[in-house]
Amino acid sequence: MAKILMKGNEAIGAAAIKAGCKYFFGYPITPQNELPEFMSKELPKVDGVFVQAESEVAAINMVYGGAGTGARVMTSSSSPGIALKQEGITYIAGAELPCVIVNISRGGPGLGGIQPSQADYFQSTRGGGNGDYRVLVYAPASLQEAVDLVIEAFDVADYYRNPVMVVGDGMIGQMMEPVEFKEPATKRDLPVKDWATTGTEGKRKPNIINSLALDPEELEKHNIKLDKKYKEMEEKEVRYEMYKMEDAEVVMVAYGTTARIVKNAVDALEKEGIKVGLIRPITLWPFPHKAFKEIPATAKALLSVEMSMGQMIDDIKIANEGRLPVEFYGRAGGMIPTPEAIVAKVKDILGGGK
C-alpha cells in the first residue's frame, strides 16, 4: 500500500478504523480535536458510531458500556481531559474490559496551555484512579509508529482484557508525515469474548460486568488475578530502541518526539568525537528496565531528556540500580528542547567535552 501524507490526529483515527474500531466516544479539547472530527466523518462510512459526549466523564463511561459489549471502542483527549477520565479508566481496568485511550498531551498543571508536553508521564504510568490497576502505555516517536502502535493496541487490549493508552505530545497530533497502514507486527491468538454482554437469546446465563466486590476475600483474589496479568505484560510487552550505544560515555533516555531531537544531538556529538547513546522507551509501562542492563562499561552518566520537569527520572533510577549518576535536562510548559541545548548539557556532564 502506498504511503499517504496525513496529519497525526487523523492518521491515529484512520489506524483505529483499520484495526476495527466501531465506536468512538469523546469530547473536544486542543490539541487532539482533529481526531474526533475525523472519526465523526469516517466511522459512519464503516457502520460505526461517533458520539460527542457532554463531558470527558460521560465519554469514558460510554467507553465502559461499549467495551462491555465486546466491540472495539476508543476515546481520545488531552491532559486535563484524561485527568477527568481516570475514575472511568480504573472501573474499566477493574472490570477487565478492552479499550484504547489516546492522549495527545499538552502543558500543565491545571488547564495549562495547548503546546506539546510530556508532563503526563506520572498520569499515564501511575494512573490517577484508585486501586491496584495498570494500563499498558505506548509512546510513539513518529506518525508511522503511532499508526502501527494504535493498530496493535486494539489487539493487545483484547488479548489482556485491559485498557491500552497511546501517549503522544501535541507535536504527534499536529505534525504531518507519510504513513502506511499495515497489519500488526505480532500475530496474537485472541480469546473469544464469551464474557461480553450481547444478550442471552435464552441460550446462556446472563453475563454480568462489574468492578464492585464487597467480599474482601473475593476482591483480593481478583487483585491477585489482575496482578498476574500485569506481570505477564511486564514479561512479554516491553519495547524499546537502543541508538548508537556502543562505547557511549553518556547514555541519554528520552521517549516520543523528544527522542527524535535527542538523536540529532547524538549525531552532532558523534561528529565532534563524543560518543553518546540513547535508550528510547516505546512502552512507558511496562518500563524497559532490561535495556539498562545493556549499557556499556564506558558509560559515565545517564541523562534524562524530557518535555517535563523530570517525571521519568524515578523509573530511570529504579532501572539504573544505583550504577551511574542520573542527570536531567528538560523544558516544560510547552517549550521544546533543542539539539544545541542537549549537546551543551552533555558537554557539561563530561566536563567540557573533548
Specify whether 255 is located in the same domain as 315. yes
Residue ranges of alpha helices (H) inside 98-214 are 121-125, 143-160, 170-174
pLDDT value of residue 133: 97
CB 163 within 8 A of CB 99: yes
- How many structural domains comprise the chain? 2
Cis ω on the peptide bond leading into residue 178 (within 30° of 0)?
Answer: no
DSSP assignment of 280-348: EESEEES--GGGGGG--TT--EEEEEESSSSTTHHHHHHHHTTSS-EEEEE--TT----HHHHHHHHHH
pLDDT value of residue 187: 81
Specify whether 227 is located in the same domain as 296. no
Specify whether 245 is located in the same domain as 148. no
The 3-state DSSP composition of the chain as helix, strand, coil percent (nearest 5) reads: 40, 20, 40
Q: Of 237, 263, 293, which residue sits at a domain end?
A: 237
Kind and range of the H or E run holding 240: strand 240-243
Total number of residues shown for the chain: 354
CATH number of domain containing 291: 3.40.50.920
What span, in angstroms and rounded, lies between the C-alpha atoms of 254 and 258? 6
Specify whether 250 is located in the same domain as 346. yes
pLDDT value of residue 186: 75
Specify whether 129 is located in the same domain as 16. yes
Rg (C-alpha) for the chain, rounded Å, is 21
Q: Look up residue 243 and give its three cell numbers.
A: 541508538
Specify whether 275 is located in the same domain as 126. no
Question: What is the mean pLDDT of each successive set of 10 residues along the chain, which is 354 residues long?
Answer: 93 97 97 98 98 98 98 98 98 98 97 96 95 98 98 98 97 97 85 95 93 96 98 98 98 98 98 98 98 98 98 98 98 97 98 61
pLDDT value of residue 2: 84
Q: Of 237, 262, 279, which residue sits at a domain end?
A: 237
Specify whether 228 is located in the same domain as 245. no
Specify whether 229 is located in the same domain as 290. no
Specify whether 143 is located in the same domain as 206. yes
pLDDT value of residue 354: 46
CB 289 within 8 A of CB 319: yes
Give the domain extent around 289: 241-350
Q: Look up residue 82 and give its three cell numbers.
A: 484524561
Cis ω on the peptide bond leading into residue 216 (within 30° of 0)?
Answer: no
Specify whether 69 is located in the same domain as 167. yes
CATH number of domain containing 229: 3.40.50.970
Distance (Å) of CA 154 to CA 15, 19, 86, 147, 190: 10, 7, 19, 12, 11
Specify whether 183 is located in the same domain as 268. no
CB 43 within 8 A of CB 74: no
Kind and range of the H or E run holding 261: helix 256-271
Specify whether 183 is located in the same domain as 278. no
Q: Of 237, 255, 282, which residue sits at a domain end?
A: 237
Distance (Å) of CA 250 to CA 217, 239, 242: 49, 21, 13
pLDDT value of residue 353: 47
Residue with C-alpha cell 496474537?
188
Q: Which residues contact 117 (CB under 8 A, 6 or more apart)?
A: 79, 105, 106, 107, 108, 169, 170, 307, 308, 332, 333, 334
First vs last C-alpha separation in the chain? 47
